Amino acid sequence: MAGFSGLGTILRMSSAGGTIGSTSTAAGMADLTNISGPSMSAEEIDVSSYDSAGGYREFVAGFLDAGEISLEGNLTAAGGAVDLVDAFNDGLERQFHAVFPATGTSTSAALVNASGGYLRWVLEGTVTGVETAAPYDDKLSFSATVRISGEPFLVASSSSG
């Protein structure tokens, strides 16, 4: 198989200052339509000198920046927007898990890797932005940004938690 549909991806968010257990069975945040990121990058440090080979600049990696994740969803009373606004208002760091689907047919299906485990992003971050939209000719929606703090991990585990 060449790839998988994103349908069924699960995003879980811990309570303020909490973690998400590795055996968590929570369904995840409701009504999400897009999850983008992490948008990782490395600082470039110019280490060029008069004797750089061929007169070409030389670079080494400096600080790593995990960037952020962007979320979009349908604006509903039971959806993820309410939890994200609460997280924005308290300003506290939370743990997030993005669990990837295997077949795109079920929110309980998770992408199984070659060693028989589930593939997911595990990261900590702070909600730094929430926006709602109410166009006259389209659905009510929201978007949010989570600024990642520290190192995100793309992990394979034996649980979808």
**Digit-coded pLDDT (tens) for 97-109:** 998 875 444 444 4
In the chain (161 residues long), the average pLDDT of successive 10-residue segments reads 73 85 62 94 97 96 97 89 93 92 48 56 96 96 97 77 57
Choosing among 3.40.50, 2.30.110, 1.10.10, 1.10.3860, the CATH entry for 10-39+65-157 is 2.30.110
What whole-number distance in Å separates Cα of residue 99 and Cα of residue 155?
A: 10
Tokens of 136: 């006259």
What per-residue confidence (pLDDT) applies to 117?
Answer: 52
Q: What amino acid is encoded at 110 in this protein?
A: A
**pTM value?**
0.82
Residue 90 three-state SS? helix
Q: Considering Cα of 155, then 146, then 95, then 141, what sign does the dihedral take?
A: negative
Angle at 73 between CA 3 and CA 160, to 5 degrees: 50
Q: Are 19 and 95 in contact (CB under 8 A)?
A: yes
